[in-house]
Amino acid sequence: MRIAYQGEPGAFSEAAALAFNPAAEPWPCETFDVVFATVEAGRASHGILPIENSIGGTIHRNYDLLLEHELPIVAEVEHPIVHHLLALPGTRLADVRRVYSHPQALAQCERFLRRMTGVEIAATYDTAGSAKLIREQGLRDTAAIASARAAEIFGLETLETGVQDYAHNVTRFLLVGRGAPLGEPEKTTIVFTVSNEPGALHKALGVFAQRGIDLTKLESRPIRGRPWEYFFYADLAVPRQALPCARALVHLAEFAPSVRTLGSYPRWRGQTPGAETPSHNST
């Protein structure tokens, strides 16, 4: 099993891939678009995408890509995220003039970064990629927010540990692939649109409420080229083939301009280890 992920070795997506299947071969890709292209071309059996974080919220780009491509969701992973401030050996915290990391990681460490006065905060394409950049360019006045594994891979030292704002920092990842669900489906993710009229969304959600179907997530995304019109992404706590879900989707399709199932898949049952307690939490 080869799992394509966005980032460099040491990225949290790589760790999530290995949490799902320790025997898998992680396959680094430069962008999320390349992850999809790699799976579509058959160079990897699956791709893994971060979709939401318990602190930073949704990774919107990946919702857009799920809609743009035909790769179904086949599994999910929840993985704890512990961020560290990394720098070249010998660098002191007082020497740091800029911090690099992925925008989501920066958002998850906002309170810690606010205390680093006089320091430039710069967004990059990847947490582990930020560590790699510091090593390759020999940046002695720069630190990266990344994983402990990234520190090991790129020969950096840890200046501060557990710098995320909250101890229980978890990211939910989705696996996509060309084959069947990786286990017995228990959840379903759909995307739909509604007419621009009063009560349209209420009516759409009612098809699930009438049948006792729990919506565990509802997310709206703008429809490009159609200002103030939206796609609605929903996670349903029921498999697609269950009769109440099947009937709800048929009912929804009677009045919704578009309805599409993005995948029906098992919910994550892994024993997610307890996240480390950050040493710099503030109240």
Contact 79, 14 (CB under 8 A): no
Q: Which of 71, 61, 104 is nearest to 221 (CA)?
A: 61
- What mean pLDDT do residues 202-209 have? 96
pLDDT per residue as tens digits for the range 237-279 = 999 999 999 999 999 999 999 999 999 999 998 743 333 334 4
pLDDT per residue as tens digits for the range 113-124 = 999 988 999 999
Residue predicted with more confidence, 44 or 272: 44
Say which residue the tokens 């002191």 belong to: 92
Element (H, E) at 209: helix 200-209
- What mean pLDDT do residues 15-35 have? 95
Q: From CA 233, how far away is CA 221, in angstroms rounded?
A: 8
Kindly give the residue spans of alpha helices, DSSP state H, lying in 41-78. Answer: 60-68
With b for 16 or more beta-carbon neighbours within 10 A and e for fewer, the 74-95 pattern comes to: bbbbbbbbbbbbbbbeebeeee
pLDDT per residue as tens digits for the range 158-183 = 999 999 998 889 999 999 999 899 99
Q: How many residues does the chain have?
A: 283
CB proximity list for 217: less than 8 A, separation 6 or greater: 52, 233, 234, 235
Beta strands in 194-280 (DSSP E): 215-222, 230-236, 258-265
The domains found in the chain, sorted by start residue, are 2-81+169-177 (3.40.190.10), 86-155 (3.40.190.10), 187-265 (3.30.70.260)
Catalytic residues: 171, 173
pLDDT per residue as tens digits for the range 52-77 = 999 888 999 999 999 999 999 999 99
What does the DSSP 8-state code read for residue 73? Answer: E
**pTM for this entry:** 0.87
